[in-house]
Structure 1
Amino acid sequence: MASRKKDGDNQILRYDDVVLRRSDLGILRGPHYLNDRLIEFYFAHLASSSASSGAVLLVPPSISFWLANCSDSQSLREAADPLRLPDRSLVLFTVNDNLDVAAAEGGSHWSLLVYCRETSEFVHHDSCTGMNLWHAQRLFRAVSGFVGAGEPPQFVEGFTPQQTNGYDCGLYVLAIAEVVCNWFVSGGRGCAKRDERWFTAVDKEVDAVAVNKLRGEMLKLILNLMENK
């Protein structure tokens, strides 16, 4: 039993600053809740394939979690300043319902918080509506003062397809994040329909079928990167 646990924890891939382990493949092969590493990996993948010249920032889950739960104002500023939030047009944060900063891989639900400079809004996408609202508002209050917006940013709930099980929340976060990034890169910014934002694209492209497909695509991507390293 100990040997299997050790084997499952072996490093299989380093992608930018993200280290994936063999156990992560098992998460993708089975219908399991995504961990921080897999979400950070796909955020890094989206960032590397985005031609946004630094205008879009996908914040790693560990940093988003620290920003939301940091109680010291000086430490919060030290964590926020390197992100250069005033220089970004779009910032994507993960939201997790874990409240114990000492508990690694804690929590049981993921959602997405998107800051859009053009509309001066933080848009929350939750595939289980209401479950992460308090946690998202906590993160919003922590970071809204660092974006350097001309007018105080607002918190809004965005249209979000709803998950049909208890484990796909992380995949909904990634699927919606990908849609938002593609919307921005393809010229979605500047859209005259302020109320539409990227919501129409999310409605068309994200559902249970797309999310299940993404799980397989992530597994294939990691295996291909392992073969080519």
Structure 2
Amino acid sequence: MASKGGKVLSYHDVLLRESDVAFLGGPHWINDNLIGFWMQYLEKEVYKGQRNQVEFVTPDVVQFIKLGALQDVSEQLKSLELKCRSLILLPVNDCTEFELPGGCHWSLLVYEAKKKIFEHYDSCKGSNSVHARRIAEALKSLLCLESAQVTEVSCTQQNNSYDCGLHVLYNLQQVCAQRLHRGEFTTDFCVLSDRMEHNRNALLQLIAYLAEQN
């Protein structure tokens, strides 16, 4: 569903409108714009000094990787120079059609170049496994890999049907902090699934702060 309402925040390549921010009022499933915003924030603010190490692949590009023709994917992604990155982060959605954007579950796929492995963080374990494997397979030739095996990583499980996106935001932050050797976090996010309301408020506060700076 297209974003609606007045502009709340224009942040690099992401435009957040009132309908996007309203999802954070909960209890709602957060959308690709909010996930894309968080990835842009990590890339442009928190890890801007490590731009050559990590690639934050936005939800729309991940969807193209999953559903696009292999030749088209390889051609379009050349500019990202993915095989030069030590860490690649891809939010996974279970939508299966270009023409009908949406889906109902988010998870996180991580590629670590040093180990040549894909790891899948799913807050509803197993729900997005087939989609994660499809994306990994699509990236295999681009990353010059012999195989594209995906390992399911143990992570906090959601206790409702709508907090999957918030788990993705937390896992993005956690993976970056661990793999890029930065111990501090940029928001007061909490890993406990029963504290996800707290995380919604933390993201709302960040958006409000950045909007004031514009």
TM norm structure 2: 0.89
The question of 1:218 aligning with 2:203 is answered: yes
Instruction: State how far apart, in whole Å, the 2-side matches of 1:18 and 1:25 are.
Output: 13
1:68 equivalent in structure 2: 66
2:54 equivalent in structure 1: 56
**Residue identity opposite 2:173 in structure 1:** E
Instruction: State how far apart, in whole Å, the 1-side matches of 2:9 and 2:98 are.
Output: 26
**Residue identity opposite 2:202 in structure 1:** E
2:166 equivalent in structure 1: 171
**Aligned with 1:146: secondary structure?**
coil
Structure 2 unaligned spans of 5+: 184-189
Instruction: State how far apart, in whole Å, the 1-side matches of 2:52 and 2:197 are.
Output: 30
**Aligned with 2:174: secondary structure?**
helix
The question of 1:227 aligning with 2:212 is answered: yes
Q: Tell me which of 176, 180, 183 is aligned to 2:175.
A: 180
**Residue identity opposite 2:164 in structure 1:** C
Residue 67 of structure 1 contacts residue 79 of structure 1 at CA under 8 Å; is this kept in 2?
no
**Residue identity opposite 1:208 in structure 2:** S
1:158 equivalent in structure 2: 153
The question of 1:27 aligning with 2:12 is answered: no
Displacement of 1:152: 3.7
The question of 1:138 aligning with 2:121 is answered: no
Deviations 1:91-110 (A, max 9, x none): 00011110011123x10000
Alignment RMSD: 1.9
1:202 equivalent in structure 2: none
Q: Which has the larger radius of gyration?
A: 1
Displacement of 1:81: 1.2
Aligned runs of 1:87-166 on 2, under 5 Å?
87-104=84-101, 106-149=102-145, 152-166=147-161
Displacement of 1:210: 5.1
* Divergent runs of 4+, >6 A: none
Instruction: State how far apart, in whole Å, the 2-side matches of 1:136 and 1:44 are.
Output: 22
Change (3 A) 1:187 1:22: closer
Residue 57 of structure 1 contacts residue 88 of structure 1 at CA under 8 Å; is this kept in 2?
yes
TM norm structure 1: 0.83
Residue 175 of structure 1 contacts residue 211 of structure 1 at CA under 8 Å; is this kept in 2?
no
Deviations 1:158-215 (A, max 9, x none): 1111000000000101100100111122179xxxxxxxxxxxxxxxx62214533221
The question of 1:44 aligning with 2:29 is answered: no
Deviations 1:68-99 (A, max 9, x none): 011x2321112221221111000000111100
Displacement of 1:223: 0.8
Structure 1 unaligned spans of 5+: 1-6, 189-204
**Aligned with 2:151: secondary structure?**
strand
**Residue identity opposite 2:77 in structure 1:** A
**Aligned with 1:19: secondary structure?**
strand
Change (3 A) 1:23 1:52: same
Aligned runs of 1:4-15 on 2, under 5 Å?
8-15=4-11
- Percent identity for Structure 1 against Structure 2: 37
Deviations 1:16-50 (A, max 9, x none): 10000011221112221010100000000111211
Residue 85 of structure 1 contacts residue 148 of structure 1 at CA under 8 Å; is this kept in 2?
no
Instruction: State how far apart, in whole Å, the 1-side matches of 2:61 and 2:4 are.
Output: 25
